[in-house]
Amino acid sequence: MDRRRFLETSFGAAATAALPVMSAAPVRLVNRTKTLFNAYYLRAHMYTCVPRQVREDLEWMAGVGTDYVSVAVLEQDLFAAVENLTLVCTEAARVGIKVLAVPARWGGLTAGAPKVPSLFSALHPETWVMDRAGRTDLAPLVSGVISSVHHPKTLAFFCDTLADVYRKLPSLAGMILDEPKGFQPDYSPAAVQALGRNAPKKAHYAAATAFYSAVCAFAKAQFHDKLTLLFGQASSSDEIHAAQAAVGPLDFFGFDGRPWDRASDRVFQGGDPTSESGKGKVLLDRGVEWIKLARSVPGRRAFFLAENHNITAPMIDVIDRGFPRLLALGADMVSYYYYPRNVQEPERAMGVIGRHIQTFAGGARTRPMILNR
C-alpha cells in the first residue's frame, strides 16, 4: 500500500477520491484522556516542502488525537528555511494542533535531526569540550564537536538563538531539549577554570544542570507563556538521570526509549550497531518510577518519547504489544515519531502507532478524513 492510500484508508476511514483536500473540514479526534500526544515530525520539510503533504500529515495526526507536533530547528533554518517551519505551524493551527520546537544539534549539545555539526561550534573552536589530554573530545555519532557548557559564548548562543526562534515563529507553544549533552567530564580551559582539573564527575554533571537551568530560566523570563520540556535517554546512568531531573524550570521532564521491556529488548542484542534496539534503552521496566521522578517537582509533568524509528519488521509486533502498556502507565505526555527514518515497513508501523493512540485517546472517528491529493 502506498503512502497516499494508507493516509486515505487508515483506521477504517473511507476514501472519497473525487473530493479535493479543502472540500471538507479536517477531522479532529478529541483526546478525552489526561495524556497529551505529541508527534515528532523531524525534517519532513527539509528542504523541499510540498504543502499538500504537510497538510495530509497534520490531518493524520489530528485524526488520531494528537495534541502537539514537534519540529526540529537547526541554527541555519532561521535564515534558510523559516518559511518551511511557518507552513507546518500554519497547517497545525488549521487542525487544532500546537507546535513545539526541538533545538537540533545546537552547540552539539542537543539531539534532534539531522545529525550534523553545529554551525555555532564550527565557528567557535574556543568553546570545544576537551579530554584530559587536551584533545578535542569528538562525538562522531552525534554532531562532531561539542561546545562546553562552561564557556559563556555557549550560553549566550543558546539564549540568543532561542529568542530568535520565538520571534520568527511566534505561534510556537514551547521547546523541547532533546537528550541534552554535556553531562560528562570536560577539561577545556573554561571548564578547568570553573572546576579545576580534578573535579569529580558529579561536579561536571552539576555544571550541565546549571547550564540547562539557565537556558530554561531565560526562556521562562522572556517568554513566560512558552512550555519548556527536557528528556534524557532511558539508558543513561541513574546519576545522569538525577542531574537532568534537577534542571528547572521545566513544565515536562522524562525519558526516551523503546516502547517495550528489557526482556523483549534482549532479543535484538548484537544487531545493527547503529540501532537503538538491543541496548537497554527501554521505557517499560522503570516507567512508573520515572513518572514519579518527573512529578517529584511540584507542577512538573511526566514525558515519554516512544522511539519507533530505526526498526525492522519483527520489531513492529513488539511495539504493538508494548505501546498500549506504555500508554497505560499514565504519563502526562507521550510522543511518537511520525513516519520516522529507517523503518522496514513504515505503513504498517504507523498503522500500529495510530491505532493505539486513537483507541486510547477516544475511540473511532465519526466520519472519514478527507486526504486526497
DSSP-assigned states of every residue in 326-351: HHHT--SEEEEESS-SSBSSHHHHHH
What is the pLDDT of the chain when averaged over all its residues? 90
Tell me the pLDDT tens digit for each residue of 254-303: 999 999 999 999 999 987 777 788 889 999 999 999 999 999 999 999 99
Q: Do 369 and 329 touch, CB atoms closer than 8 A?
A: no
Domain count, the chain: 1
Residue 231, domain member (yes or no):
no
Q: Rounded distance, CA 6 to CA 11, Å? A: 9
pLDDT (average), residues 24-46 = 86
Give me the domain span that covers residue 9: 3-103+251-361
Residue 178, domain member (yes or no):
no
SS3 102: strand
pLDDT (average), residues 22-45 = 83
Residue 68, domain member (yes or no):
yes
Tell me the pLDDT tens digit for each residue of 223-258: 999 999 999 999 999 999 999 999 999 999 999 999
The C-alpha torsion from 320 through 326 and 330 to 332, rounded to 10°, is -100
Residue 213, domain member (yes or no):
no
Residue 136, domain member (yes or no):
no
CATH number of the domain bearing residue 344? 3.20.20
C-alpha cell of residue 265: 529488548
Give which of 35, 129, 100 is closest to 323, Cα–Cα: 35
Location of C-alpha cell 562522531: 140
Tell me the pLDDT tens digit for each residue of 309-362: 999 999 999 999 999 999 999 999 999 999 988 899 999 999 999 999 999 998
Residue 311, domain member (yes or no):
yes
